[in-house]
Structures are given as C-alpha cells and as structure tokens.
Amino acid sequence: MSISHTSITVDRLSKRYRIGAKLERQDTLAGSLLALARRPLTNLRRLRDLTTFSETEVENDTIWALRDVSFEIKSGETVGIIGSNGAGKSTLLKILSRITQPSRGTAVVNGRVSSLLEVGTGFHADLTGRENVYLNGAILGMSRNEIDRKFDDIVEFSDVAKFIDTPVKRYSSGMTLRLAFSVAAHLEPEILMVDEVLAVGDIRFQKKCLGKMGEVASQGRTVLYVAHNMPAISRLCQRAILMGNGQVVQDGPVHEVISTYLNSGLGTSAVREWPDLQQAPGGDITRLCAVRVTDEAGNIAESVDIRRPLRIEMEFEVLQSGYILLPHLYIYNDEGVCAFGATDVDPEWRGRRRPTGRYTSTVTIPGNFLAEGMFFVDANMCALEPFIFQYWSRSSVAFMVADSLDGDSARGDWTGHMPGVVRPMLNWTTQYSQRVPARAATGTR
Amino acid sequence: MESASSYIPEVPPFRQSGVIGAEGWRLSSKVSELWHYRELFYFLVWRDVKVRYAQSILGIGWAMIQPLVPMILFTIIFGRVAKISSDGVPYALFSLAGLVPWTYFSNALNDASGSLVKEVAMLSKIYFPRLIIPLTSVLGRLIDLAISFVMLIVLMAWYQTVPTLWVVLLPLLVLITIVTASGLGMWLSALAVQYRDVRYALPFAVQFLMYAAPVVYPVSLIPASFRYFYAINPLVGVIEGFRATLLRSGPVPWDLIGIGSASAMLMLWFGTVYFLEKEPVFADVA
C-alpha cells in the first residue's frame, strides 16, 4: 500500500483516577473507638467510590492521569513516548492496548495490535520453557499454528535451547527474561506497543533486542515505544511525543523532543551537581562536586551542533593534599559503545601533588568529531603513586550531538543514516582523467 | 495492495481495528469475542490443570482423595452414629454420589471467585476477554470431576449397583453444575476484585451451601411443601439426579431438576451481566 493511512487516532483522551483520601485522625479514645466501629462503612464508601465519579465533585480526591491527549500516528511510523514518572505514558499505553478504559475521549486503532507492557506475562514457574512459550504466545495473541511454526526460531533466539524442557523455576532470571523476550520478539503485529521491556537481560542480549526492535520498525510496522531509555528512543524512533502531567508537551522529530525533555530538567541532563560532599561520589582524598557539558562559550548545553566544539567540566574537591590525581572521562554512545576515554593531561598539574581545594578540569572536544546522537559521560578519578581508586560516576551527564543538514558537516549531501561513533571532517581529494577513446588518443599523438 | 488482499489474519480480528472509549457492550459481541479467543481459553485451562498438582507426590490422586475423605467421615457420623436415612442405598455410596458433584461445584466456585484477584498481574498487562479467567477455573476442575467420578463407579461396582438407563441425563446434570458455578463464580470474582471480603466470607458460604444441598441427607427428609423452594439451589436437582439415575434411589426428580435448571440459568445471566458491567474497571481497582 503506497498511501499512508492512519494507524492510531487519539482524540481528547482523558483518564481520571481516584487517589486515596486521607483518613480522619481521632484524638480521643472514644473517638477512635467510634471511628473503628464506623470503619466498615467508610471502607465500603471508599471502595465503591473507586469506580464512581460524579461530574460535580470537588476534584481534590482525583487526579487526571491523562487530560485531553490528542495525536495521530501514521501507518509505519515509529513513535517514542517520553516523559518523567507520572507523566501519563503508561496510562496512555494501557488505554491504547485496551487494558483500561478512558474516562473521556476516544482512540481508534487500525490494524492487528500487539501490546507488550511486560515480557513473560502469564509465565508459570512450574511449566517448562516449551510449555511457557506456547502459553505466553497464546496470551500475546499468536495462534497455535503460528507458534508451532516459529518455535525453533524463538528457542534459538533465546539461547536456552538446552533447558527448554526444564521448568522455568529452575532458570536464572536472565534466562527466563530471554525466553520471554524471544516470544515477544516473534510477534508479527501491524501495530506494536512496547513499554520499557528492553531493559532486560545482559548487555549482549539487550543489543540483540534492540536490533530486533529496529527490524520490526524497518518492516513498515507502526511502533509505539514508551521508555526512559533516551539512547534507545533516539535510535529507534523518528518522532517522539513528550508528555508531562498527563498532557502532550511536545510532538515532533525525536532529537528536538529529547532535547526539550533534557532541558526541562526532568531527565538526565547536561549538569549533575553534588552539593553535599558527604553524599558525593569519591573517597577520602577527593570527592566529585559537579559534571557539566557546555558549549564553547561556557553555557550549559544539552544539545550541540556537530560542527561546534563542546566542553566537559569535572569539578572536584581535594580533601587531602599530597596526591597525584588523574581525572578522566569515558564517553559512550547510545548503544553503549565507548567512543573514547580521555585523561587529564593538563601540563600544569600533570604529575604534581595537589594541595586541598576546589578544582575544575575541563576538556574540549572539537567540532566535527563525535557522530550525531546521544552521548553519556562517565566521570572518573583515581590517585596515582600509590594507585587509589576514588570514583567512577556512570552516565553522570548526557548530551546530544545534532548534525545539521546544511551540507557543511562530514555527512555532506547525504541525509540518510550514517554509522559510527565518530564523524570526523576529513580531507578528500579526487583524481580525474577524462575517458577518451583509445584510437582517438593514439591518433592525436 | 497485494499483501493486504492475501493477508489472512491469524489473530482474532478483535485485536484489530476498534474504537476505544465507546460506551457499553453487547452480549452477542462479547460471546463471539470469547469464541475468537478460544485458543487462549484452551491454553489457560490446560495450564490450570497442569499446574494444579505440580510438585506434589500424589498429584492428581488428590482429586480422588478430596471426596473420599468426607465420604468416610460422613458415613461414620451421619450413616452409623446419626443413622440418617439414605433412601435404601448404602450410605457410603449415597454420600459419595452427592459428594462427587458437590466437590466439583465447591472447588470450581472457590477457584473462580479468587481467579481475577490471582491473575491481577495479567489483567494489568494484557488485553483479552476477562470472562475467560473465571470460566477457566470452572472448566479446569472438570478433570477432577472425571477422576472422582471414576471413584464413584468403582464403589458402585463394589456394591454391585447397576445404574438406570437415565444415566444419559448425567451430562445435563454436570452442565447445570457448570452453569451454576460459572454464574456464581463470575459474579463473585468481579465482586472480589473490588471487595476482598469475598475471600473471607466464601468458606462460610460454601459450608452453608453444602448443608443447604442434600449431600449428607436425602431430599425425602425435606417437607414436601418446602421442596420447590429448596430446589432453587440447582445442586439439589443435580445431586438427587445423580442418585436417582446411578443408584436407583428413586424416580428421576424432574421437578427438582427443572427448577434447578431455571435458577442456574438465572444465575448465569446475572453473573455474566454483573461481570461485564464491572469489566472495564478491573485493571483500575484490582
């Protein structure tokens, strides 16, 4: 089908939940006894009220988990939904997968839907791996024939072939998750809705899953993906919807939306500060105070242009003087690949024993060096001679490198996907000779 | 276009195109939805059976013991000590014929009532017709019924009892039991999602129901004028039917079975309607 039709239409979707009202406190013995006697009655009212809402009632006892959310998703789009905890992402997904009903508004879904709010739903510890594959497959909507057909692939993908006839309770938790994800990965829906299920298994398996997700997305299916995992979202989705307080805050290209999200201070940001030295990472010699990502002018930058340099600052406090310190950073991309490590080689302090005080080490990463995408910074410190480990603060800050399509970056006129963790501007030369007919060439001689 | 026309859906079309948030439900569409999810239904019943006696030494043997132990107890207490009439049938046989359908009913009701609460993790993670859950419990116990029925046949052979030709009625009697357990089970499971009191109250209710059914005594002990009211409990007709057709304890009690069937259907209707009314909020309150 060449015409793109709409897969999901969400129209002013709202969901109201009742939050537990506070019980009145009684100060006297008689009062407490009376309240205790009335308790069944108040309990009944409370439980009954869970499902009844009146339009006129004062709203301090209810919350709107979703409020007038509207958007459209075209068939074949891969859309990420991001937002902090309680923003309404999961509620939205639950409504779209028909687990719960909206209080107001409608959603129209066109196509075979599979929703994965968790992997391994319905897995039973007493059943074998094989039995659980069939059961879980049926729960996810596969027919028996379909499971028969895919069974070998599922088992192979999961790496648990040897234990397929062992009860799942004898599995390690990683094996169970791998098997569960394998079943899910072999669904063939037209619309896939996924919530945070990629955070499973070891790194190697996670990568396999990410690959499988990418495959699903590239087969022209519609994917709705909810996660806190910015790297995965930025990789899998072209479009993202940022939610906050049950409403759509922004809806647009994924990198723009992620940048808004990071700038709003809701997620991992380009600044991380530890105001309390007692709580800060570090040992007896030194403690980490802050890590910042800035642009060349020194302003905090969540997102930098690929052509411009950026700086990473590590601020730390030296508590004991007399040590040679080695601040260093590791930079990872969104697939968890380490782009590079960098050690402070500032000649002023290199090999020199430092007195107590506050230091800020800054490294400048040149423009046209890192590839576009999300990067995560580990801030590390150790003392040398003798070697004493101080801290290793993983993913302490994150930033986004955005490639422009102006044509003057390393991608030139290519606007598609480019692999690699670095994207240096290199020097290209061309040798040219005009192809002339062999006879004519000799003839001129 | 080509892929769209040659495409054969393997998953129930109900996972397909739908408007979410539209009000109300239609019984006919709910029933056909249940039909489309029959494979899942089958797998869940299969899991229920498979898992029930997992990692136990006697395994399915427990399904035999469950009616046997009360049978021995009742035979001693009610048969020997209290000398309750058993319509001329040996008391052990008399009570087992009552206990076989009764044990099935009480187990099915018990499982069904707690089923939604037990499967709450699944309820909040995936969509399928929720009706499947209590019905799974009711159907899953049929295996136990079959096994305890074999025990009954063995005991009948021991006492050299030959059943009447009316044994052909047995499937109907079992169906009445299924319908009753389903109706009450759906209602109680939906109620238990919101009010967990059900779990605590149910054992008393089941105990009471047992004595309100002719498990340890014959219907002939009930005053005739009171019998039709008594028969509103569908298990009355079922148990008396079991005894009349298998043990020749008397004529087939058509009146009791008729009243019981009607009341079982009423319970099924009420239970289904209550369940479907409450279905939309299960995930929110559970």
Q: Is residue A223 part of a domain?
A: yes
Residues A320 and A357 reside in one and the same domain: yes
- Structure tokens belonging to residue B166: 């009316």
Per-residue confidence at A87, pLDDT binned at 50, 70, 90? confident
Task: Give residue B169's pLDDT.
Answer: 93
Q: Inform me whether the C-beta atom of residue A291 falls under 8 Å from chain B C-beta atoms.
A: no
- Regarding whether A312 and A341 lie in a shared domain, the answer is yes
Q: How many residues does chain A have?
A: 445
In a domain, A2, yes or no: no
pLDDT band at A393 (very low <50, low <70, confident <90, very high): confident
Q: Assess whether pLDDT exceeds 80 at residue A437.
A: no
pLDDT at B14 (0 to 100): 39
**Ramachandran class of A202: left when φ > 0, alpha when ψ lies in -120 to 50, beta otherwise:** beta
- The reply to whether A320 and A240 lie within a common domain is no
Which residues share a beta bridge with A6?
A74
Percent of chain B with pLDDT over 70: 92
Search chain A and give the residue with CA nearest B128: A139
Q: What is the pLDDT of residue B95?
A: 93
Strands (E), B117-160: none
Give the CATH number for residue A310. Answer: 2.70.50.60
Q: Alpha carbon of A118 to those of A85, A139, A193, A208: distances in Å?
A: 17, 12, 11, 17
What distance in Å separates residue B190's CA from the closest CA in chain A?
A: 13
Q: How far is A186 from chain B (nearest CA, A)?
A: 14
Q: Are residues A73 and A145 in the same domain?
A: yes
Statement to judge: residues A322 and A233 lie in one domain? no
Domain's final residue, options A201, A236, A263:
A263
How close is the nearest chain A Cα to the Cα of B186, in Å? 18
- A71 in a domain, yes or no? yes
Report the pLDDT averaged over residues B244-252.
90
**Would you state the pLDDT for residue A148?**
93
User: What angle is formed at CA A182 by the lines to CA A177 and CA A188, rounded to 5 degrees?
Assistant: 140
A110 touches chain B (CB under 8 A): yes
Q: Answer yes or no: is A417 within a domain.
A: no
Q: Which pLDDT value is given to residue A258?
A: 76
Same domain, A257 and A317: no
Q: Based on the fold, state whether residues A348 and A241 are members of the same structural domain.
A: no
Q: Most confidently modeled of A291-300, A334-343, B170-179?
A: B170-179
* Residue A242 counted as domain residue: yes
- Write down which residue in A232, A263, A294 finishes a domain: A263
8 Å CB contact of A47 and B21: no
A139:B122 CB<8 A? yes
Label residues B123-161 b or e (16+ Cβ within 10 Å = b). Answer: bbbbbbbbbbbbbbbbbbbbbbbebbbebbeebbeeeeb
Q: Do A126 and B10 touch (CB under 8 A)?
A: no
Q: Which of A13, A94, A139 sits opposite B283 (nearest CB)?
A: A94
Interface check for A422 against chain B (CB to CB < 8 A): the answer is no
Tell me, what's the pLDDT at B146?
A: 94
Domain holding A255, by residue range, is 66-263
Please state the rounded mean pLDDT for residues A223-227: 84
| pTM recorded for the entire structure | 0.72
Residue A11 within any structural domain of the chain: no
**pLDDT for B261:** 97
Domain match, A239 and A298 both? no
Nearest to B11 among A17, A96, A143 (CB): A143
How close does chain B come to A200, measured CA to CA in Å?
A: 17
Q: What is the per-residue pLDDT across A121-155, written as a single tens digit (0 to 9) for each? A: 888 888 999 999 999 998 888 888 989 999 999 99
Mean pLDDT of chain B: 87
Q: How far is CA A304 from the centre of its chain?
A: 19
The fraction of chain A above a pLDDT of 90, given in percent, is: 29
Sequence-ordered list of residues with C-beta below 8 angstroms from that of B162, at least 6 positions apart, any chain: B248
- What pLDDT score was predicted for residue A362? 95
Residue A210 and residue A174 share a domain: yes
Looking at the fold, whether A137 and A248 belong to one and the same domain comes out as yes
In a domain, A416, yes or no: no
Q: How confident is the model at residue B3, as a pLDDT?
A: 37
pLDDT of residue B16: 45
A157: pLDDT confidence band, cut at 50, 70 and 90? confident
B19–chain A Cβ distance below 8 A for any pair: yes
Higher local confidence (pLDDT), A33 or B256: B256
**Domain count for chain A:** 2
When pLDDT is averaged across residues A91-109 and rounded to a whole number, the result is 88
A92, closest residue in chain B (CA to CA): B20
For residues A236-245, average pLDDT: 87
What residues in B contact A96, CB-CB < 8 Å?
Answer: 20
Whether residue A146 is found in the same domain as residue A180: yes
The region of weakest confidence among A24-38, A105-119, B109-123 is: A24-38
Percentage of chain B beyond pLDDT 90 is 56
| Tokens representing residue A330 in the block | 């590791």
Q: In this structure, is residue A282 part of a structural domain?
A: yes
The CATH code of the domain that includes A196 is 3.40.50.300
In contact, B105 and B233? CB cutoff 8 Å: no
